Copies of this chain bind each other. A is one copy, B any other.
Amino acid sequence: MAIMAKIEAVLIADDASTFVTREIDGVELSFGGIEGDRHFGLFAKADSRQPMYKRGQEIMNRRQLSIVSVEELQGIAQRLGVETIKPEWLGANIVVSGVPELTKLPMGIRMILPSGGGIVCEGENEPCAGPGKQIANYYGDRSLTQQFIKHAGQSRGIVAYVERPGEIKPGDLVEIQI
């Protein structure tokens, strides 16, 4: 079975001072993710998200890309009572539409791009305070930081890695192989 999703935006975190991303026209995905992005690399240092390893130990990077869906961001915005949640505030690299339950995609699932490239889902990207603070700053309401953590669970998107390099750009139709 396959779901067809549409790429709505591609973004990069290339400002060393922040995880916030900015929109780009498209990019050639490499082994390791998006070159120049703060999460790029075949390897990464273990942190609080990998408590089974010592902090700072080198591990395979399963969190190269952050992917969110238009539908889920709209749902979070509604629950927070705000007009919109911009993907850049969440550090998203890829925005898709047509996948209302993106965050529930199981680990290991492939997304195949028209270019021939392939991305593998590594499961839910659990909400943390960073994006919440961006939202709180924008709307001038500090309570939104905690509300984001509370209301974005199971809809904040997934992390993924590049299995096969290839171009990705807005307008692409992606095949999600369930």
Contact = CB atoms under 8 A, between A and B. Distances in A.
A107 B110 contact: no
Contacts of A123: 108
A122 B60 CA distance: 14
A84 to B, nearest CB: 31
A1 interface: no
A41 to B, nearest CB: 12
A62 B163 contact: yes
A86 B1 CA distance: 35
How often does this chain occur in the complex, in copies? 2
A138 interface: no
Contacts of A31: 43, 60
Contacts of A149: none
Interface size class of A (residues with CB under 8 A): 20 to 34
Per DSSP, are chain A's interface residues mostly helix, strand or loop, or mixed?
A: strand
Contact of A106 (B106, B112, B161, B177): B106
Interface centre among A53, A60, A110 (most CB of B within 10 A): A60
Interface string A78-122: 000000000000000000000000000011101010001010101
B54 A116 contact: yes
| A-B CB proximity, top 7 nearest | A107-B108, A59-B164, A60-B163, A52-B112, A107-B107, A59-B163, A53-B164
